[in-house]
Chain A
Amino acid sequence: MIALALDAFVQAATQANGLEHLPPPPSGGAWFLATVVKLLLTFTIYMIGVMMVIWLERRVCAFIQDRRGPNRVGPHGLLQSVADGVKNIMKEETYPSQAYLPLFVLAPVMSFIPALLTWSVIPYGAPWDSQWGTIDTALAPMPIGFLFILAIGSLGVYGIVLAGWSSNNKYSLLGGLRSSAQMISYEIAMGMSTIPVLILAGNVSLDRIVSQQGGWGLHWNAINCTIAWFIFMIAAFAETNRLPFDLPEAESELVAGYHSEYSAMKFSMFFIAEYANMMTASALMATLFFGGWDIPFTMWDNVAPHTLLKTLVTFAFFWVKIMVFVFIYIWVRWTLPRFRYDQLMALGWKFMLPTALTYIVVIAGATLGLEFAGFHPDSWQFAVAMLVINLVLTGILFGLIDRGRLISPSYSRLDKRDLAKLRRARFDRARFEPATSEGGAD
């Protein structure tokens, strides 16, 4: 009986993994109209989403800190972001007298635009087989979609670096320098962590990456390459400068880091950019590792009649995934303390990069081995085998993660013996020195 049920499940899972061939996209006027509508929809939803995420952050933060949070403007304080926006537009813009003005003005824009550009290639719903042709939900379904995301993502650092430099302020400059070092370091780990996904998909187009994960949810890359997702998530935290990686704006050390000198709407732009980046990183995680718009435990969204209803439902589901990741972002921010600079670099270069590189080799080897054994990447046996491999690897990795060994702890600069000597010395001084030094001065 169970065997029969399993067999039926296997039959269903094996057939039609991904999308079958669709009619070509519309041409001429229909294409133009569809693109304009998609453009407006994406932009509007994205901007309202950013506003809501800012509200969500403040409410969740308040909940975690046992406060109430903004609850006056509108129901549950939902319109607080609107009020803040109006306030920031009304405020006076200040310009430091020694700032390099062209870049000072350009920097907030440059930190915001890359986050927005990424959305042009993300497919945020099943394609709609309309009477004018297949309408892709991605604004620009490029054959190199994934590389486009990497390229645009690597530009995000410019806004922060230029803001830090053009403010002509030591703290801002330090923030900018930290940011460029941090983002270059973690970008490499991030790029490397996505190679296993590309190996499994066999292509760099996001359409293909999503359709390869389609079906029952067994082919989601979070299952097939768990450690890659783990590394990608950490790197995404660093790329968006969120706690525990918010060294560029560490307020206890650098006033406000790269945006110390910014006021009013220009500060607001940085603020919006941070949340925009957060949503973009969440969307990327959903697309690359959680099946994109795919609905798990059903084939309904992957098979033939691609109606408008399916597009809308998958669209909603994609947003549910994004919101889950956004919530994790917020949760982590109000839970973990900030890394120290050398810990940050050690984590990026000594732990994440080697792990990502090793993982590429493991996944490539496993894929090759399984294909030799006759399991196609689209088959369920392949996914189960990968799941087992990943469970073992995750166990090993988490067993190995030890603050004393991989990520240097706060006493890392000192040898254990030196530390003991220092402790002894302090103890001795306290015991033998006469109480002449009346403190205060040191």
Chain B
Amino acid sequence: MVVQDMPHGTLPLLYTFHFYLFGIIAIVSALLFVTRKSPVAAALWLVNTMFSLAALYVMLDAQFIGVIQVLVYAGAIMVVFLFVIMLLNLGQGVVGDARGLGWKLIAGAVGVALLAQIFALTRSRTPVNLTLPAGYTAQQVERTGAITPIAGPLFNEYLLAFEVTSVLLLAAIVGAVVLGKQRGEGDAG
């Protein structure tokens, strides 16, 4: 919301400070998430990453996305992750990486490629038809409330895609139940 008063391209000091603060927290947490041996600690570092991402979304005036990030990822998915980790009692034991050197090299190469892509994208100019004027989102939120800009297109223009996605999720749930049932029967018999 502060951004709209500033000339294009410059940002207030506080904004820059917070951007780097949350950016650094996100990256450090992500690194810790990958390197921790204990699955519970790794999961918690991932939660921390989600939080800093949510903060970055809020700084982009996308409060709705930020809150959904916390609600869905940190509040629901990661809790279920923890639940499963505890149920399987992976505990503090060290789970060794079963994959060999080849896989690690491939993973590293993919990571480097993605990093290069991000650098290339930040260097190039964003096409004009993909950008919004500065402070546009903030004005929109001020005028219609925080979720109307998302809910409107979602339930009018893209309703079909939205519904198809829900059918996809339903299919996944049914599939999971079917698989679970099959194994249960095998065990019993």
How far apart are the CA atoms of A162 and B145 in the complex, in Å? 36
CB distance from A296 to the nearest CB of B (A): 26
Q: Does B67 contact A (CB under 8 A)?
A: yes
CB-based contact B67/A155 at 8 Å? no
Q: Say whether chain B's binding surface is mostly helix, strand, loop, or mixed.
A: helix
Question: Across the interface, which residues of A come within 8 angstroms of B79, CB to CB?
Answer: 154, 157-158, 161, 180, 183-184
Interface segment among B70-78, B99-107, B175-183: the answer is B70-78
- Stretch of B25-33, B80-88, B109-117 with 4 or more beta carbons under 8 angstroms from chain A: B80-88
Q: How many residues of B contact A (CB 8 A)?
A: 26
Q: Report the separation of the CA atoms of residues A162 and B86 in the bound assembly, to the nearest whole angstrom.
A: 10
Contact of B174 with A by CB under 8 A: no
CA distance A164 to B87 in the complex (A): 12
The CA-CA distance from A165 to B79 in the complex, in Å, is 13
Residue A204 is within 8 A (CB to CB) of chain B in the complex: yes
B80 touches A184 (CB 8 A): yes
* Residues from chain B with Cβ under 8 Å of A154 in the complex: 70-71, 74-76, 79
**Contact of A161 with B86 in the complex, beta carbons under 8 Å:** yes
What distance in Å separates the Cβ of B136 from its nearest Cβ neighbour in chain A? 15
Inter-chain pairs besides A147-B146, A180-B82, A184-B79, 14 sampled, C-beta below 8 Å: A102-B41, A103-B44, A147-B64, A147-B147, A150-B67, A150-B71, A151-B67, A152-B70, A165-B82, A176-B86, A177-B86, A180-B83, A183-B79, A202-B145
**Closest approach, in angstroms, between the C-beta of B53 and any C-beta of chain A?**
13
Are B40 and A204 neighbours in the complex by a CB distance under 8 Å? no
Does A144 touch B at the CB level, under 8 Å? yes
Interface residues on A, range: 20 to 34
Least distance between A300 CB and chain B CB atoms (Å): 28
In the complex, are the beta carbons of A205 and B83 less than 8 A apart?
A: no
A176 CA / B40 CA spacing, docked (Å): 14
B86 touches A151 (CB 8 A): no
B75 and A155 within 8 A (CB): yes
Within 8 A of B (CB), among A124-181: 142-144, 147-148, 150-155, 157-158, 161-162, 164-166, 173, 176-177, 180-181
Contact B86 A165 (CB under 8 A): yes
B38 contact set on A, CB distance < 8 A: 100
Whether A161 lies near B82 (C-beta < 8 A) is yes
A70 to chain B, nearest CB (A): 37
Query: Are the C-beta atoms of B92 and A100 separated by less than 8 Å?
Result: yes
Please state if B145 and A203 are interface contacts (CB–CB under 8 Å).
yes
Tell whether B68 is near chain A: CB-to-CB under 8 Å: yes
Answer whether residue B3 sits at the interface, using C-beta atoms and an 8 A cutoff: no
Binary B-proximity of A346-381 (CB < 8 A = 1, otherwise 0): 000000000000000000000000000000000000
Interface centre among B64, B80, B147 (most CB of A within 10 A): B147
Contacts of A204 in B (CB 8 A): 145-147
Nearest opposing residue in chain A for B61, CB measure: A143
For B63, the chain A residues whose CB sits under 8 A away are: 142-144
A148 touches B67 (CB 8 A): yes
Please indicate the chain B residues that have their CB under 8 angstroms from the CB of A187 in the complex: 75-76
Q: Are B83 and A161 within 8 A (Cβ)?
A: yes
Q: A143-B63, A144-B67, A147-B68 are in contact. Are A205 and B145 (CB under 8 A)?
A: yes
Nearest 5 A/B pairs, CB to CB: A154-B75, A143-B146, A151-B71, A151-B70, A147-B67
What chain A residues lie within 8 Å of B134 (beta carbons)?
Answer: none
Specify which of A103, A144, A157 is in contact with B40 (CB 8 Å cutoff).
A103
Give 23 pairs: A residue, B residue, CB < 8 Å, sorted on A: A100-B40, A147-B71, A147-B147, A150-B71, A151-B75, A152-B70, A154-B70, A154-B71, A154-B79, A155-B74, A161-B79, A161-B82, A161-B86, A164-B86, A165-B82, A166-B40, A176-B86, A177-B87, A180-B82, A180-B83, A184-B76, A184-B83, A204-B147
Closest chain-A Cβ to B60's Cβ sits at a distance in Å of: 14
Contacts of A203 in B (CB 8 A): 145
Contact of A177 among B44, B75, B83 (CB under 8 A): B83
Interface centre among A154, A162, A176, by most B CB within 10 Å?
A154
Is B141 in contact with chain A by the CB < 8 A criterion?
Answer: yes
CA distance A102 to B87 in the complex (A): 21
Name the contact of B141 in the complex, choosing from A102, A143, A162, A180 (C-beta under 8 A).
A143
How long is the Cα–Cα vector from A208 to B64 in the complex, in angstroms? 16
Q: How many Å from the CB of A182 to the closest CB on chain B? A: 11
A184 and B75 CA atoms in complex are apart in Å by: 9
Please, which residue of chain A has its CB at the minimum distance from the CB of B70? A151
User: B83 contacts which chain A residues (CB < 8 A)?
Assistant: 161, 177, 180-181, 184
Q: Complex formed: what's the CA distance from A180 to B77 in Å?
A: 12
Q: Which residue of A lies closest to B51 (CB)?
A: A155
What is the CA–CA distance of A153 and B74 in the complex, to the nearest angstrom?
11
**Complex: how many Å from CA A2 to CA B147?**
44
Q: Which B residues are in CB contact (< 8 Å) with A180?
A: 79, 82-83, 86
User: For residue A150, which residue of chain B has the nearest CB?
Assistant: B71
Q: How far is the CA of A180 from the CA of B43 in the complex (A)?
A: 15
Known A-B contacts A143-B63, A165-B86; A205 and B71 likewise in contact (beta carbons under 8 Å): no
Residues of B within 8 A of A177 (CB): 83, 86-87
Q: Which residues of A contact B76 (CB under 8 A)?
A: 154, 184, 187
Q: In the complex, which residues of chain A have a beta carbon less than 8 angstroms from the beta carbon of B64?
A: 144, 147
B86 contacts across to A, CB distance below 8 A: 161, 164-165, 173, 176-177, 180
Bound state CA distance, A183 and B83, in angstroms?
Answer: 12
Q: Which residues of A contact B67 (CB under 8 A)?
A: 144, 147-148, 150-151
